[in-house]
């Protein structure tokens, strides 16, 4: 699903001196623990390829916090393909603690100023900090209005990241004596509506890792001897060498505080609520090797394949003769579901599409340019597809641009005689206001064919199939998602497939989006109208 993109990913690592032997190699000692951060960011690069950055802490250098960030991939920003330059950078960034970030976004796309972490310098060490976050504050416009209301404040960037920076800064400025970061989180996030997981690093050597009260965005951590590490996905910790049984998910509404004096502490900063984990993490966003909130991403996707197979048997529409019928996944995130579906149906699963990983990003292009690049993204294998009845498995269809082009190429270049699209997800009929790149209804293809009542009629699915150029198309129903992930349905955010949002501002934004539907308003207008809709001036 190359048309949909997540906002970002977060990583953090800390070496607590004098607390035992390190379980993994850290180079020349505690001061070199920061060298592991780029490796962690590479493992969550799937969450954002637009920009990357990191901040390190070293009490023995004049610049207590040092930040490097830029537009580009992790390898580009940290010069990982140039040994001498990478080594020079790692020496300049040496530290006993580090936080890092990878980014994809819909605003300020090629502006280095939007790259994270954001650092706030101050003459007082207790007020000097750097932070990064994954998510989106759906009430950004309200927070912005309130911050600027007195005329004494100024925002240089159009992003909720800067709002958080100033909110933290305001709390620290009012504090006297040592900072209580649990209290800072409690006070600042009480006014947040939306999704966030974040990491903070201070000039006093404190690290804070927190997750929103609904647990919409994932955050995993491990604490072993003198080492603490955290990341948006468990795979980044597993590949450092930590035992998978040691890796845990940070409970929603909790924060971890690390410092040399008190070591590791886990505390609640927000009232307990029923979690609303983003179901798309398991279906698409997360690395297939990750485990989030005790549920394996890979196993969830295989169960989606079982759901597809069950629906295919019930449908009894496609001839499942293994001699001329094959299952083909759209690379890469659909592969686990496609393999599982094919196994259940006793027909071959073949890689009939080869993804060109160097074709460039199609999501930042518009109109004809996007279609042209989508055509170069996948190469159909005629030797596999010719004269075959193809069951094409996709994890979702968002805007339909890629699917249109893909079906044409499978038929014209691949020579398939039939193409039956099977989608391992319900139709996306509503925008996301919690950190996914889809904020207006007009961006989505499904609302033209389906409604929020969850009805998947044969007629509506066939109309979409005809318009896309497929012989047939079938989505999974909403109730299959919770079964596949293995979570209670009320523990998942499924707003984009139901129109039922877990927060007040999210629901209000959806009503605004419905009113804007078809009016050609750009994606920012939904957020800009929130303050007025909720009576904030």
Which DSSP string corresponds to 350-378? ---EEE-TTS--STT--HHHHHHHHHHHE
Per-residue model confidence as pLDDT tens digits over 403-429: 999 999 999 999 999 999 999 999 999
Q: Which two tokens stand for residue 403?
A: 């699917």
- pLDDT surpassing 90 at residue 147: no
Confidence band, pLDDT 50/70/90 cuts, at residue 154? confident
Beta carbons within 8 Å of 322's beta carbon, 6+ residues apart = 346, 347, 348
Q: How does DSSP assign 445-502, residue by residue?
A: SGGGT--TT----HHHHHHHHHHHT-SEEEEPPTHHHHHHHTS-GGGEE-HHHHS--S
Domain residue spans of the chain: 8-273, 297-533
d(CA 345, CA 266): 47
Q: Does domain 8-273 have CATH number 3.60.20.10?
A: yes
- pLDDT surpassing 60 at residue 537: no
d(CA 471, CA 477): 20
Beta carbons within 8 Å of 232's beta carbon, 6+ residues apart = 8, 9, 10, 11, 44, 47, 134, 197, 217, 218, 219, 220
Per-residue model confidence as pLDDT tens digits over 257-293: 999 888 999 999 999 999 999 999 999 999 999 999 9
Confidence band, pLDDT 50/70/90 cuts, at residue 527? low
Q: Of all residues in the chain, what percent carry a pLDDT higher than 90?
A: 73
From the list 14, 3, 1, the residue with the least C-alpha distance to 371 is: 3
What does the buried/exposed string (b/e) look like for 441-469 if buried means 16 or more CB atoms within 10 Å of the residue's CB? bbbbbbbebbeeeeebeeebbbebbeebb
Of 142-146, 346-350, 449-453, where does mean pLDDT reach its minimum?
A: 449-453
Q: What is the pLDDT of residue 372?
A: 66
Mean pLDDT taken over the chain: 90
Backbone angles phi, psi at 185, to 5 degrees: -65, -45
Q: In 44-200, where does DSSP find H-type helix? A: 74-77, 83-92, 140-148, 160-174, 181-189
Confidence band, pLDDT 50/70/90 cuts, at residue 473? very high
Q: What is the pLDDT of residue 366?
A: 44
Alpha-carbon distance values, 277 to 229, 253, 493, 524 (Å): 22, 12, 5, 25
Per-residue model confidence as pLDDT tens digits over 200-244: 999 999 999 999 999 999 999 999 999 999 999 999 999 999 999
Q: What is the pLDDT of residue 25?
A: 55
Q: What is the pLDDT of residue 365?
A: 43
297-533: CATH number: 3.40.50.2020
* Whether 8 is catalytic: yes
Nearest-5° Cα angle at 209, 193 to 174? 70
Classify residue 159 by its DSSP letter.
S
End-to-end CA distance of the chain: 39
From the list 413, 124, 437, 507, the residue with the least C-alpha distance to 280 is: 437
Higher-pLDDT residue of 476, 111: 476
Nearest-5° Cα angle at 519, 515 to 520? 130
Q: What is the rounded average pLDDT of the residues 80-99?
A: 95
Confidence band, pLDDT 50/70/90 cuts, at residue 463? very high
Q: What is the rounded average pLDDT of the residues 165-180?
A: 86
Question: Residue 332: is the preceding peptide bond cis (ω within 30°)?
Answer: yes
d(CA 215, CA 273): 9
Q: What is the rounded average pLDDT of the residues 9-31?
A: 75
Q: Give the rounded distance of the alpha carbon of 505 from its chain centre.
A: 20
Q: What is the pLDDT of residue 1?
A: 43
Q: Which two tokens stand for residue 286?
A: 């997360």
Q: What is the pLDDT of residue 17?
A: 78
Alpha-carbon distance values, 154 to 112, 157, 289, 354 (Å): 19, 9, 43, 49
Per-residue model confidence as pLDDT tens digits over 21-72: 666 655 556 778 999 999 999 999 999 989 999 999 999 999 999 999 999 9
- pLDDT surpassing 60 at residue 196: yes
Evaluate whether 8-273 and 297-533 have a shared fold.
no
d(CA 79, CA 73): 10
- pLDDT surpassing 60 at residue 524: no
- Which of 8, 132, 220, 350 is an active site residue? 8
Q: What is the pLDDT of residue 5?
A: 46
Confidence band, pLDDT 50/70/90 cuts, at residue 4? very low
Instruction: Please give the radius of gyration of the chain, using alpha carbons only, rounded to the nearest integer.
Output: 24
From the list 176, 84, 181, 173, the residue with the least C-alpha distance to 120 is: 173
d(CA 215, CA 329): 30
């Amino acid at each position: 699903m190359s048309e949909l993109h997540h906002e970002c990913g977060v990583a953090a690592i800390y070496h607590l001196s004098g607390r035992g032997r390190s379980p993994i190699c850290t180079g020349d000692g505690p001061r070199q623990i920061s060298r592991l951060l780029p490796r962690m960011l590479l493992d969550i690069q799937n969450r954002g390829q637009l920009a990357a950055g990191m901040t390190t802490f070293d009490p023995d250098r004049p610049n207590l916090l040092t930040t490097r960030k830029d537009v580009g991939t992790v390898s580009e920003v940290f010069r990982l393909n140039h040994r001498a330059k990478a080594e020079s950078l790692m020496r300049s960034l040496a530290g006993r603690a580090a936080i890092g970030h990878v980014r994809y976004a819909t605003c300020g796309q090629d502006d280095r100023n939007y790259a994270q972490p954001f650092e706030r310098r101050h003459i007082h060490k207790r007020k000097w900090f750097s932070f990064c976050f994954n998510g989106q504050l759906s009430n950004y416009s309200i927070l912005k209005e309130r911050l600027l209301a007195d005329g004494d404040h100024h925002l240089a960037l159009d992003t909720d990241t800067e709002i958080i920076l100033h909110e933290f800064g305001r709390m620290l400025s009012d504090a006297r004596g040592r900072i209580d970061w649990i209290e800072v989180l409690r006070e600042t996030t009480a006014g947040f509506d939306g999704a966030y997981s974040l990491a903070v690093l201070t000039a006093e050597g404190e690290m804070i890792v927190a997750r929103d009260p609904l647990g919409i965005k994932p955050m995993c951590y491990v604490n072993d001897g003198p080492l603490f590490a955290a990341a948006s996905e468990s795979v980044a910790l597993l590949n450092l060498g930590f035992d998978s049984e040691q890796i845990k998910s940070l409970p929603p509404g909790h924060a971890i505080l690390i410092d040399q004096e008190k070591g590791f502490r886990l505390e609640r900063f927000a009232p307990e609520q029923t979690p609303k984990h983003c179901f798309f993490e398991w279906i698409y966003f997360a690395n297939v090797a990750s485990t989030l909130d005790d549920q394996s991403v890979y196993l969830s996707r295989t169960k989606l394949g079982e759901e597809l197979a069950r629906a295919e048997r019930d449908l009894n529409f496609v001839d499942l003769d293994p001699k001329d019928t094959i299952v083909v996944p759209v690379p890469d995130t659909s592969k686990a579901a496609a393999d599982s579906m094919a196994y259940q149906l006793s027909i071959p699963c073949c890689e009939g599409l080869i993804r060109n990983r160097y074709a460039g990003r199609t999501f930042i292009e518009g109109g004809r340019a996007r279609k042209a690049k989508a055509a170069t993204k996948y190469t159909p294998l005629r030797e596999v597809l010719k004269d075959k009845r193809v069951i094409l498995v996709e994890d979702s269809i968002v805007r339909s641009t890629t699917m249109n082009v893909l079906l044409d190429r499978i038929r014209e270049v691949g020579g398939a005689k039939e193409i039956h699209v099977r989608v391992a997800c319900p139709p996306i009929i509503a925008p996301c206001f919690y950190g996914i790149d889809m904020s207006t209804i007009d961006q989505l293809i499904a609302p033209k064919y389906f409604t929020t009542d969850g009805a998947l009629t044969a007629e509506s699915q066939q109309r979409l199939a005809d318009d896309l150029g497929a012989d047939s198309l079938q989505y999974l129903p909403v109730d299959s998602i919770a079964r596949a992930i293995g979570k209670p349905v009320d523990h998942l955010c499924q707003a984009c497939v139901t129109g039922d949002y877990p927060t007040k501002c999210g629901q209000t934004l959806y009503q605004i989006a419905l009113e804007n539907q078809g009016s050609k308003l750009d994606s920012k207008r939904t957020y800009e109208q929130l303050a007025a809709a909720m009576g904030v001036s």
